[in-house]
Structure 1
Amino acid sequence: MNQIKRASKLAVFCYSFGDLASQFVWAFVGSYLTIFYTDIVGLAPAAISVIMLGARIWDAINDPMMGAIAERTHSKWGRFRPYIAFGCPFLAIFGVLTFTNPFSGTSTAGVVWAAITYVIAGMLYTLVNIPYGALAGVMTEDAEQRVKINTSRNIGMNVGMLIVNACSAPLMLALSGKGATVANSRGYTMVAVIYGIISIPLFLILFFTAKEKIQPQRQAEKFSLKDAIGNLVKNKYLMLLCLIMLLVMTAFMGRMAILSYYVIYCLGSFELIAVIMTVPTVLTILGSFFVPIIVKKFGKRNVLMGTTFIQAIGLLVVYFAPFDNVPMVLTGCVIFGLFNIAMPVTLSMMSDSVDYMDLKSGVRTDGTAYATYGLATKVGNALGGSVGVILLASFGYVANQQQTVAAMKGINLVVNLIPAILYILASLCCLFWKMSDKDADEIREKLKVRDEK
């Protein structure tokens, strides 16, 4: 029998650089674009909601297409790596353009500018990150190393978020001019420029160190959107994972998109944004180091089910904390952050779902599977941000004003209680995952025997 193909230790480590780079662009967009639109540009909440949801409707078509195109790519660099190298400069540029708007937010031109820059930035994120995510499934045949690769990614993601969360607010204030107490347009734009410049070499390091070890056993057929969607829908485990990640990412990224409102208007301090966003991220990085150990002991499904439920408890602690009780708020943030390991676990489970479908149908769908998974995360992000800002308006939120008691209660509910409920639902969905880690190992052994014939 042939030796199991594995990634190098350097490749496993440098795989983290892809999500580290992504966070400099996309975490900044996810955390600050909504408040930039409302408080700086002056866009109406309804307009923001339409822009974000419209972009995700397009992603429903664009993302599977990108995954299928990547699967069918043939180059000396492989199927997935070229998109990372050649797409990252354009992603950085449009990450900056989303934080510019030369028109009034109340004008048609202002809305159109915001829509175009946001949609194109999302498409470029797809162009780079779907191939990046698919790489994890083709860098190694070793199940434990796949967990390590996705753990490396999770660490990179959270280090990126840590830097963005800790540095963005102080940097924006510093770049907004002397004596600024809240960030202005220049502050947002200049920070986006800095992050974009940092992201490009990180993506290129990933490109040069990652290698594609697993190749499809047969040539991919001519792209058919109908067939691609059909293969994905038939994969029951992939569909379940997408539902779980839709719930988790609606809670997580949606919360990040509007967390600034809670800190500024409920806790009463722009400077506290860095603390409230940084504390959970530091704990997430710490918790990520234990993922391979606890997954090996308890299994991927059980770890995912337990940690998402505990995250809900952390958010409930924050929700019930009085606004002047910052220690209690931080306690909830610690609980929430320490158990925030859904990403590496679900990514490893996604590789299991691809192997399952490969054995069942003979079709390997690394790219389109990750595209579907990624779409679920992006839809969750958009739903959380767009629906969240509409809910804030319904509770009486008014930009740049002292909020009423009802508005502050509404902000707390949207930022903390609703995400807690979504995490509980995600935890319950895990009960429907019936493939054990032992089953997944047996599937890989059968694939290996099949491919050696």
Structure 2
Amino acid sequence: MEQRKQASRAAVICYGFGDLASQFVWTFVGSYLTIFYTDIVGFAPIVVSAIMMGARIWDAVNDPLMGAVAERTRGRFGRFRPYIAFGCPLLAIFAVLTFTNPFGGNSTASIIWATFTYVAAGMLYTLVNIPYGALAGVMTEDADQRNKINTSRNIGMNLGMVIVNALSAGLALRFSTAGAAVADGKGYMTTAIIYGLVSIPLFLFVFATSKENVQPVGEPQKFSFTGTINNLVKNKYLMIVTLVMALQMTAFMGRIAVTAYYVIYCLGSFTMIGLVMTIPSIGGIVGSLFVPYFAKRFGKRNVLIGSMIIQGIGLLIIYAAPFDHMNMVLAGCWIFGLFNVGFPMTLSMVSDSVDYMELKTGIRTDGTAYATYGLATKLGNAIGGSAGVLILGLFGYVANAEQTAEALKGINMVVNLIPALLFFLAAAACFLWKMSDGDAEEIRKQLREKHSKAE
């Protein structure tokens, strides 16, 4: 029987700790930094939009560079694991710094500081998470185990979101100035410190338990930025799954960036943030338990399509719900969450696209391919945050004030309707993917034969 290199059971389980750690730093930043900028620091929506989109323009260059550097790294700890171990403390530090405003107010110095800390935090997220994502594709040659590894990651992501969404508002309010009705700058910064300290050992668990079993054949290619981009663009399946991820992440992560506005102003309660944002994450954990079974039975692409369509329906239910009809709002949240299971599928499809490209060209691009996932995550968060606050401004949003009916309509549209439409578009884009799971397995079989001859 053909022997496939596989990850240990401990590695599969502990792999999810990496995305759990990421939620403590990056999801907290994504969920609360926008409202920290507008309601605490006092930045105008257009300033927030400029900071976030400027950072993402830089990421379009930085993320593929990091992927290329990582996949060319050779050392005793492998190509990807060292960046997880040595980068996670710096990521935690800069996640805290984004919630500081040492110059006070919305001065030019404050804008420069906010830009510097946000860009640096994004670069450090890239430094840690692109190697972390690429690691999943080199831990095993077995397709079913890859699905399990990425399911472990999805469970870690949703568990992290449950904790962050359930605790953040309460913690931020608890550590704010006594008597505050909503969280202030001190509360946000203290919460970020706690989360940063928790994230570091979780990342180190991944470093300690994982092993890079799939190695590229031959010496690494000499680095060329244009060559790196060409390798990505020529991989048609990577481009398809990147398009899907960009739409999927803008819908999901972008929504997270502005959900606090919906809960505070539409539902009328800061403390409700925990409930409304936690339910979808709990649903995601439950739904993720069934992903390996359904992926094996129906195929990755079909599971992905179905999950995103039903997520969109859940958001439409929330959008249609009157603001005082909490049962309808929560029902939509549960539907949205239970089918939040598409991320393991897109990650496994990235692995399939890497295998496809290696067979076609002889070049294995784990790092740069997974850079597209990290870039899609940050783009989604930034587009949702920056475009979201701009749209809110157009509808007449005013920070820390009672909103007009028009402004409330704009908030509901940005948080629920637009993400639903993006999920439907992402599901439609999946039909461009023509590689079946059987085709992907045949590609891996040919690669194993090729590697065994080269050894």
Q: TM-score, normalised by structure 2?
A: 0.99
Question: Aligned partners of 2:314 and 2:3: how far apart in 1?
Answer: 45
Question: Aligned partners of 2:252 and 2:10: how far apart in 1?
Answer: 30
Residue in structure 2 matched with residue 404 of structure 1 by the alignment: 404
Summarize the alignment of residues 26-105 of structure 1 with structure 2, pairs less than 5 Å apart.
26-105=26-105
Question: Aligned partners of 1:57 and 1:392: how far apart in 2?
Answer: 22
Counterpart AA for 1:205: F
Check if 1:317 corresponds to 2:317. yes
Summarize the alignment of residues 380-399 of structure 1 with structure 2, pairs less than 5 Å apart.
380-399=380-399
CA contact (8 A) 1:66 1:130 kept: yes
Question: Aligned partners of 2:338 and 2:226: how far apart in 1?
Answer: 41
Summarize the alignment of residues 157-236 of structure 1 with structure 2, pairs less than 5 Å apart.
157-236=157-236
1:220 positional shift:
1.1
RMSD: 0.9
Question: Aligned partners of 1:222 and 1:431: how far apart in 2?
Answer: 35
Which blocks of at least 5 consecutive residues in structure 2 are unaligned? none
1:376 positional shift:
1.9
Question: Aligned partners of 2:194 and 2:9: how far apart in 1?
Answer: 30
Counterpart AA for 2:377: T
Residue in structure 2 matched with residue 302 of structure 1 by the alignment: 302
Check if 1:447 corresponds to 2:450. no
Counterpart AA for 1:260: A
1:47 positional shift:
0.8
SS at 2:193's partner residue?
helix
- Once the two structures are superposed, residues 174-231 of structure 1 have per-residue CA deviations (whole angstroms, 9 ceiling, x without a partner) of 1113332200111000000000000011111111100000110011111101011001
Counterpart AA for 2:210: A
1:445 positional shift:
0.5
- Once the two structures are superposed, residues 319-361 of structure 1 have per-residue CA deviations (whole angstroms, 9 ceiling, x without a partner) of 0000000110000000000001111110011100100111111
1:150 positional shift:
0.3
SS at 1:15's partner residue?
helix
Residue in structure 2 matched with residue 370 of structure 1 by the alignment: 370
Residue in structure 2 matched with residue 348 of structure 1 by the alignment: 348
CA contact (8 A) 1:280 1:334 kept: yes
- Once the two structures are superposed, residues 113-136 of structure 1 have per-residue CA deviations (whole angstroms, 9 ceiling, x without a partner) of 000000000000000000000000
Check if 1:247 corresponds to 2:247. yes
The alignment of Structure 1 onto Structure 2 pairs a total of residues equal to: 453
Question: Aligned partners of 1:204 and 1:418: how far apart in 2?
Answer: 37
1:104 positional shift:
3.4
Summarize the alignment of residues 261-280 of structure 1 with structure 2, pairs less than 5 Å apart.
261-280=261-280
Counterpart AA for 2:446: K
Counterpart AA for 2:7: A
CA contact (8 A) 1:241 1:373 kept: no
SS at 1:283's partner residue?
helix
- Once the two structures are superposed, residues 270-322 of structure 1 have per-residue CA deviations (whole angstroms, 9 ceiling, x without a partner) of 01000000011000000000000110111000011111011110000000000
Residue in structure 2 matched with residue 422 of structure 1 by the alignment: 422
Residue in structure 2 matched with residue 126 of structure 1 by the alignment: 126
- Once the two structures are superposed, residues 65-95 of structure 1 have per-residue CA deviations (whole angstroms, 9 ceiling, x without a partner) of 1001001111110010000100000000000
Sequence identity, in percent? 68
CA contact (8 A) 1:105 1:111 kept: no
1:451 positional shift:
1.3
Question: Aligned partners of 1:106 and 1:132: how far apart in 2?
Answer: 36
Residue in structure 2 matched with residue 114 of structure 1 by the alignment: 114
Question: Aligned partners of 1:289 and 1:96: how far apart in 2?
Answer: 33
1:3 positional shift:
1.9
Residue in structure 2 matched with residue 330 of structure 1 by the alignment: 330
Counterpart AA for 1:376: A
CA contact (8 A) 1:159 1:285 kept: yes
Counterpart AA for 2:75: S
Residue in structure 2 matched with residue 153 of structure 1 by the alignment: 153
Q: TM-score, normalised by structure 1?
A: 0.99
Residue in structure 2 matched with residue 7 of structure 1 by the alignment: 7
Residue in structure 2 matched with residue 434 of structure 1 by the alignment: 434
Question: Aligned partners of 1:344 and 1:330: how far apart in 2?
Answer: 25
Question: Aligned partners of 1:434 and 1:400: how far apart in 2?
Answer: 49
Question: Aligned partners of 1:431 and 1:214: how far apart in 2?
Answer: 29
1:137 positional shift:
0.4
Question: Aligned partners of 1:421 and 1:314: how far apart in 2?
Answer: 11
